[in-house]
Structure 1
């Protein structure tokens, strides 16, 4: 968003704390078009107060767009809590097997695009060859019709095979997400009590600052992508990932296979220490995406890896490289 959309003249104002509603409101400028957030934030499993942010957006006459990739429609339906548009990376849980590229846009059909016409002239002001605006032609579906046209003209349309695999994956979405969430909850509780673990960021934990929001928004489960920080910093994290045998080291998530990632050296490698700190990403933080394997097998694999991380911490303190 910061690096790519800025090339097209889109400027983003970032809110440091996900649920600081005062900060959300203060970030709105006269030219602000939308508020955008993840329902469950990657990688730290933080949970958005959708209704609170939606109320602010609507008070200012702008829509709230929510990326619901990590929660999936099985665990959370943001439109029911005030979101106007929901987006998903279908490559993740919806397809579920790490085999496709694709995405979804879901329009709740409730936002008054015509009332916010000055912000969205392509929907409510500009007229096509038939003399009608997009809102006059499509009504509440104006945004979705515009999105379809853009996809047709600019090319982000899935191949028939990708579309088939995504639809096939959705058939088992509820079964997969239910099991993955249950296993993730069990693993998070186990990790929290392990001496080699500094912290666990999982909304389902009793100790989580997002616990009350989880009871409201995620009664079916709190997802299966979360962060664990091991002692020993980068060396501990490296030893941890090297020792894993059942987890696959990969930037993907939402797979049937369990995955592990070190954000500071991969997805966030171009960020400096100040930016990493602001994002809450330390050198010892690892992202886990829990799959469909047996929970006991995963815990055994993690236990071996944590033993390796603990040994690396001892060597680091002793000055051994």
Structure 2
């Protein structure tokens, strides 16, 4: 089994208000959410269900329509645990242009030990989204499981990407092979003023490497930077950029970026397997993956056409070739 996430499944609800905090009358139906869910779907874009998985805590209130939707991606992906306390739910509040996210039920956190005894036991790649302090606890648990040394992809949780969290982050970095904040999160952790620029992002990536990412400092930093692309930095090479598939020129294609970063990292994990560990080549898979997620609200659509799996009616391999060609032409 290649990829598992410790991220949660969440039922997302929505509250849409005007600038003054008054209801607009616009409503959205609850949607499948959770960073873990999006990361798994990102990996599933490239790999069969047998190689991908996550735990889903399912309460008696779990919507049957959502369970049917998840089954479309492959039943074996989802390891269900029935929970008497109900399914984790959160509300996304839109007040004008501002978005906030709040849990409305208790969170049921997933730990590495929860994977043991399931088909998700000892995946070769482990992904999680949390604070630096919890990341340390997770890695301590990983180290206590005999015979398991996964490639770790760590995504710092957005609201803990503040300067006070830099010290606990530094403590866990040597255990993390791949660190991937987004541009705003990276600069915030390092107390660098916004807005992000390519130069600032590259400096931030090099600073994280200097702080000791990965065993023996041989890890990787990928700073996800929206339409600017992704900055990939390792000790042995200067920072390199992988372009976004959809850029600021493709506004009609960019509908909702929710989950794009999570799916990017699931796609990255798949790319690492398919490209024999080449982190730069793998990031092209990640960029293509995110392109499918931002084309609509919620998860992309999977279908099989003439024996080939498509997402939103398009081929991931076609988009990968297009992105690789685009980058090669820029170099020329």
Q: Same fold (TM over 0.5)?
A: no
Instruction: Kindly name which structure, 1 or 2, has the bigger radius of gyration based on alpha carbons.
Output: 1
From the two aligned structures, give the one with the greater strand fraction: 2
If the length of structure 1 is used for normalisation, what is the TM-score? Answer: 0.28
If the length of structure 2 is used for normalisation, what is the TM-score? Answer: 0.27
